[in-house]
Amino acid sequence: MPFTANRAFKRAPRMLVAAKDMYYTAADGRQILDGTAGLWCVNAGHCRDSITAAIREQAGVMDYAPPFQMGHPLAFELAQQLARMLPGDIDHVFFGNSGSEAVDTSLKIALAYWQAKGEPQRVRFIGRARGYHGVGFGGISVGGIDANRKQFAGQLLPAVDHLPHTHDLARNAYTRGQPQHGAHFADALEELVSKHGGHTIAAVIIEPVAGSTGVIIPPKGYLERLREICDKHGILLIFDEVITGFGRLGASFGATKFGVIPDMMTVAKGITNAAVPMGAVCVRHAIYDTVVNSAGAGIELFHGYTYSGHPLAAAAGLATLEVYRSEGLFERAASLESFWEDAVHSLRGSPNVIDLRNVGIVGAVELEPRPGAPGARGFETFVKCFEAGVLVRSTADTIALSPPLIVERDQITRMFEVLGSVLRSVA
């Protein structure tokens, strides 16, 4: 089982058997309020009829089409619709099947771009401490979660460095929205430029809001500063928007929310409301043009997946974007933001809580780790919430919440009441 304590799980399994809108049904029949949109991905709520119908219909029309040297209209239609939503001149899309594939693809596109531009010495990638970019070798190399790297440390990508993370409890605890302090953490990029030479750096990759590590919200001015330094040295900036895309922050993307436009964006999860796996890299016009137009005749990018732009995923993606549009779900998320923020901060003073933070429809409750047992308090909280009928997520001792964007106010209230009462019962 992925990222699971297999032996413990098999002793006491937690099984889900059905889902609709805001609720899962557990194997014992209990309704579980989904406080996490599955795994940050079911942004429109579960088993939405129009998405299900689109997948079902496409399965009967054309189950599969090879994406190498062949195409099908739905993939192009989805790319075009996405391009219209993307910020700046980001207007070309390469499809894969997951966030991990999107990340590794973006790193390969960065290398291909610099080769095509005549700067093949630009090969170094800069990630960030505590960053999560999936589980491919590229993703774990630029990623900064120690546990995800250690087992594989002997064979990571060689030319990679990391910026410091921006989590600063001493100065920013209990911040509502973006923290005041920490824009200066971006200056570490200047130090890496001095160390290696800007002309050797291909790209910087970060999550606008780091999700999987336990929700780290960018300090005011931080993303702007990173963009400036990248521009100064001609370095590509990649936003990994696998979590922050599709309304999670009360805007279409993190780039839109924070007003900082990267050169490439990786997306996945909410692109199909998670109903069929799909991921994508979105790139600026000039990146596409450079890679494609500087190549000789024939294939320009030696990369692709059997299931790139899979017809069922493309159908699910088109139906999902239609739900987002017709129900105004990104605007709905924005309109719920202050209610959500108050609900998150209602836990101030609960036992063992050392920080509360929020942005968009994302909330985090950081707990003091038990001495000698980091993660145990967070995991116990997650299990007890599940037993009490609410799905939350624990990463180490941070509890993260990110419900579907159709969540109602009384459901938000219930999530935090249950979490509050669980916190009072966890030693």
Residues binding ligand PLP (CB under 6 A): 98-100, 103, 132-134, 207, 211-212, 240, 242-243, 268, 279
Q: Which is nearer to ligand PLP, 98 or 141 (CB)?
A: 98
Nearest residue to 109 (alpha-carbon basis) of 279, 284, 256, 251? 284
Query: d(Cα 86, Cα 278) in Å, to the nearest integer?
Result: 17
Q: Which is nearer to ligand PLP, 34 or 193 (CB)?
A: 34
Q: Which residues contact 61 (CB under 8 A, 6 or more apart)?
A: 311
Tell me how far, at minimum, the Cβ of 243 lies from ligand PLP, in Å: 4
Tell me how far, at minimum, the Cβ of 280 lies from ligand PLP, in Å: 11
Q: Which is nearer to ligand PLP, 141 or 290 (CB)?
A: 141
Instruction: Locate 133 and state its tokens.
Output: 């970019």
Per-position b or e across 245-277, b if 16+ CB within 10 A of its CB: bbbbbbbbbbbbbbebbbbbbbbbbbbbbbbbb
For residues 426 and 389, the answer to whether their CB atoms sit within 8 Å is no
Tell me how far, at minimum, the Cβ of 30 lies from ligand PLP, in Å: 26
Q: Which is nearer to ligand PLP, 132 or 386 (CB)?
A: 132
Tell me how far, at minimum, the Cβ of 279 lies from ligand PLP, in Å: 6
Tell me how far, at minimum, the Cβ of 204 lies from ligand PLP, in Å: 14
Query: d(Cα 253, Cα 241) in Å, to the nearest integer?
Result: 7
Instruction: Locate 190 and state its tokens.
Output: 């200047």
Tell me how far, at minimum, the Cβ of 145 lies from ligand PLP, in Å: 11
Q: Which is nearer to ligand PLP, 38 or 45 (CB)?
A: 38
Does residue 221 come out as left (phi exceeding 0), alpha (psi in the -120 to 50 range) or beta? Answer: left
Tell me how far, at minimum, the Cβ of 402 lies from ligand PLP, in Å: 11
What string of DSSP letters covers 253-318?
SHHHHHT---SEEEE-GGGGTTSS--EEEEEEHHHHHHHHHTS-SS-S-----TTTT-HHHHHHHH
Q: Which is nearer to ligand PLP, 143 or 198 (CB)?
A: 143
Residue nearest to ligand PLP (CB): 99
Strand 236-240 and strand 264-267: the pairing is: parallel
Q: Which is nearer to ligand PLP, 268 or 334 (CB)?
A: 268
Instruction: Locate 120 and state its tokens.
Output: 């093949």
Q: Which residues contact 272 (CB under 8 A, 6 or more apart)?
A: 51, 278, 313, 316, 317, 320
Q: Which is nearer to ligand PLP, 266 or 352 (CB)?
A: 266
**Residue type at position 183:** A
Tell me how far, at minimum, the Cβ of 51 lies from ligand PLP, in Å: 18
To the nearest 10°, report the CA torsion of 62, 63, 68, 73: 40
